Structure 1
Amino acid sequence: MAYQLIPLSVQATDNIQCPYCQQDVINWAEEQYVQPCEHTLFIAMDIGFEYMTDEFEQSMPRSVDDLHAHDDQVNMFAEITQSTYPNYLILKSDLGIQGYSRYVGFTA
């Protein structure tokens, strides 16, 4: 397994920080709340992707465009964890919709 999953005990409206540089990569005080730092590989939800580096996308079996085209049939977490990217960290938080989560990936 190339990734480590860390469930966060935060509310859906809480900011999420990079564990390395402490930048808020989800920052609800900003109009554009997605604020990736240099360590961020992706920001995803069970319903799609909000951000992804080209490098991480190339390590996945399917492209983001293909996943979004079939998002009603895709398990985004399963897709993320099939990446061949070496050693990454996934922070998992509640999305605010019952049964849905947000996943933020960082280089390890």
Structure 2
Amino acid sequence: MPFQLITLENSQENVTCPHCRHPVIDWNEEQYLQPCEHTLFIAMDLGFEYISDAFEQTMQRSVDEIHQHDDQGLNIFNELSQSTYADYIIFKTSLGAVGAQEIYRYIGFNA
């Protein structure tokens, strides 16, 4: 497995880059998603919020292809984990439930 998975317990926790300490998710800001140069992706089980070109090129399907076929059911974590990117970190946090399904956010950084 080319990635390390870190599960965050608090869904309202700010997320800072492990390299430059930039606040990538800062709930105190109106524009709370602010990727830095080390951010590979920010995604939810509902789709992608941000993805770097370098990471998208290592995925089996492009973000456009994934979103075009979302009627077949999205499995964003599966899409992310099948990337051939050499070494990366995924922060995973629960956003709560929508119906019977738990929704997660995934933030990826260079390792």
**Distance in 1 (alpha carbons) for counterparts of 2:51 and 2:9:** 24
**Distance in 1 (alpha carbons) for counterparts of 2:3 and 2:39:** 14
1:6 aligns with 2:2: no
Counterpart amino acid of residue 75 in structure 2:
N
The gaps in structure 2 that reach 5 residues or longer are none
Equivalent residue number for residue 89 of structure 2: 89
Equivalent residue number for residue 28 of structure 1: 27
Q: Which structure: greater strand fraction?
A: 2
Aligned-pair RMSD on alpha carbons? 1.3
Percent identity between the two aligned chains? 58
Equivalent residue number for residue 51 of structure 1: 50
Deviates more, 1:54-63 or 1:27-36: 27-36
- The count of aligned residue pairs is 107
1:70 aligns with 2:73: no
TM-score for both structures, normalised by structure 1: 0.91
Among 100, 103, 106, the residue aligned to 2:106: 103
Deviates more, 1:42-51 or 1:16-25: 16-25
TM-score for both structures, normalised by structure 2: 0.89
Structure 1 runs of 4+ aligned residues shifted over 3 Å read: none
